[in-house]
Structure 1
């Protein structure tokens, strides 16, 4: 996926707006920790692992894998509605060609499968919130309730059914409990997770990404429950977490002192495209229309079936 960061906020405030918990959580320094967690957990879905592994890019371009996915989530969370709809349609087009046979079950996979897309969506939004709670200031109960409602709205840009997206913390726990039986790891899943957490600079990512990813992994693994660590085969003693959590909180606080743009400073090392998006978010002038819109309205205006003329701001 390519992206022109100067188009981030042309028309409107997107789906959520400046006062939303989504803007707060997705632009915090903790987001990059949460998103490393998310793309690692994606490999627990065997069909998604097959889709990712068959392209081969996770092994040669681990930074691009994390960066492109992170950039898409950021665009949906903080971009204007036109940019978000166009990014969504581009991603669905790319995924439409990504089909094949999952080798363990022998069943056909599709990257656009609603179940796979639901797993990607929930692990993404949940992981970023988990990091924000563990290493950042967290949300109030009212903000958290709104965050999960916004998570469901964002799901309208993917192939999953929005009504299946839980809107409470209890609902998220229930979702994980329901899908746990079909989660697994394999040799290819383990390779993918190692590339994201403990990659070698020899694998096309360079020393800066390799070092940054390994440092981040201390924090991202600390957010995971024990059963996920064991499933991923990267469990570690609880004493390590006791050291990591306060240290990570201090680092996040220090990054946040810099004009609340700590993530802009840290992201380019791990995710250059995401860093560009966040830089443009910080610098962006108010959009043409000072309003938020629904995904359905945005799709009518900017989707391939729409392309209607946008009304001038009054």
Structure 2
């Protein structure tokens, strides 16, 4: 246990009051002088190639520069059409409170799935389960219970992200993949889903199945005021998400980024999200970005310069992909083998059941407060087994408090 506890139950409440989760998590994080995410000291040692590797279709698609702008902005705005998911997002208030950090951490996680070694990604998955466990409550619009670890919401997040990445690759980049490569891409999407509480049988694995997936979800989608407000905030990303970009870049890029993201929305979704745009503007908005991305695609170091200003936490995972830096060994794992060897032996779905039992028993984590400023549990702790265990032990200590 990382929280001081003598063994006397009467000491426990006082101990927990004097040591917040943020304090305990901070103890786990290594300290470095003048350390900065995305800086020269923020390096990554990969023991293996993780779950895909340099020759995978996933690396081919996700290395396209549109990953950092249109693809993720598209994904995180379309996510808001799941009414219970947007309730979880809006309850914490972090889209507004800490927009750059929230976007950065999302990018960090998805980039890690691509290139982190097996043990790091497995431990990161365990941390994410605990982070999401605090996001639960009652949807004020529908009256449904919501939770960030809900398998249906996680499925919607996952498929929209991977679909958005491929869609941007097709529209802004080289075009459609050959059929066999695209089928491999969707199979690899299913591999990456093993790190979240998603039922494998629910995942689409071909283009046709993906289209059916969105058709099946369409009747369940809706947009609340919170969804429209958050979407508008994210569409203004050069101002709200990427404040570290040069002012001239923000000034020039702000309107064209917004329009280019809207250009990727299906037309039937646009009224729900409170946006509209002509087909001519769609075409022009995409055309403007193509030469820009061609330059970045041919200059990986320039792309990394941009990434450091958009999502510094993700840089350490994107560098091996863009600079073709090999891991110590070329070994590639399956999530099942990695989980048996590293991290929590329970799958994310099984972990969710355990977390729900704790909450129902009154000893789970407290839900996030609106606009909270709680200490961030850094995914970088997953680099080191001891640091990960300290973070997870700290959470276990807090779980002894009555859930609220």
| Fold shared, TM-score > 0.5 on shorter chain | yes
Cα shift at 1:285: 4.4
Residue in structure 2 matching 1:134, options 171, 185, 210: 171
Cα shift at 1:183: 0.7
1:291 aligns with 2:331: yes
1:118 aligns with 2:155: yes
Residue in structure 1 matching 2:341, options 293, 296, 301: 301
User: Runs ≥4 in structure 1, deviation > 6 angstroms?
Assistant: 1-4
Give the equivalent residue in structure 1 for 2:3: none
C-alpha distance in 2, partners of 1:288/1:143? Answer: 27
User: Which of structures 1 and 2 has the bigger CA Rg?
Assistant: 2
C-alpha distance in 1, partners of 2:244/2:330? Answer: 42
Cα shift at 1:120: 0.4
1:277 aligns with 2:317: yes
Residue in structure 2 matching 1:15, options 30, 47, 51: 51
RMSD: 2.5
Alpha carbons of 1:63 and 1:88: their partners in 2 closer, same or farther (altered >3 Å)?
same
Cα shift at 1:272: 2.1
Give the equivalent residue in structure 1 for 2:228: 190
Does structure 2 retain, via aligned residues, the 8 Å contact 1:75–1:84? Answer: yes
Cα shift at 1:106: 0.6
Cα shift at 1:196: 0.8
Q: How many residues align?
A: 304
Superposition pairs for residues 192-231 of structure 1, below 5 Å? Answer: 192-198=230-236, 201=239, 206=243, 208=245, 214-231=255-272
> Which secondary structure does the structure 1 equivalent of 2:60 belong to?
helix
Cα shift at 1:280: 4.9
C-alpha distance in 2, partners of 1:257/1:34? Answer: 19
Cα shift at 1:266: 2.4
Cα shift at 1:6: 2.7
Residue in structure 2 matching 1:171, options 196, 209, 213: 209
Deviations 1:220-251 (CA, angstroms, capped at 9, x unpaired): 22222101222211121111112122221111
> Which secondary structure does the structure 1 equivalent of 2:260 belong to?
helix
Deviations 1:23-50 (CA, angstroms, capped at 9, x unpaired): 1111210112211110111111111111
Alpha carbons of 1:291 and 1:204: their partners in 2 closer, same or farther (altered >3 Å)?
closer
Deviations 1:158-212 (CA, angstroms, capped at 9, x unpaired): 10112211011111111111111111111111111111112585x6863749655
Give structure 1 stretches of 5+ with no counterpart.
307-314
Give the equivalent residue in structure 2 for 1:245: 286
Mean CA deviation greater in 169-178 or 280-289: 280-289
> Which secondary structure does the structure 2 equivalent of 1:100 belong to?
strand
Give structure 2 stretches of 5+ with no counterpart.
1-24, 30-36, 347-404
Give the equivalent residue in structure 2 for 1:160: 198
C-alpha distance in 1, partners of 2:285/2:129? Answer: 38
Does structure 2 retain, via aligned residues, the 8 Å contact 1:28–1:262? Answer: no
Does structure 2 retain, via aligned residues, the 8 Å contact 1:263–1:275? Answer: no
Does structure 2 retain, via aligned residues, the 8 Å contact 1:88–1:157? Answer: yes
C-alpha distance in 2, partners of 1:241/1:151? Answer: 28
1:63 aligns with 2:100: yes
TM-score when scaled to structure 2? Answer: 0.70
Does structure 2 retain, via aligned residues, the 8 Å contact 1:40–1:196? Answer: yes
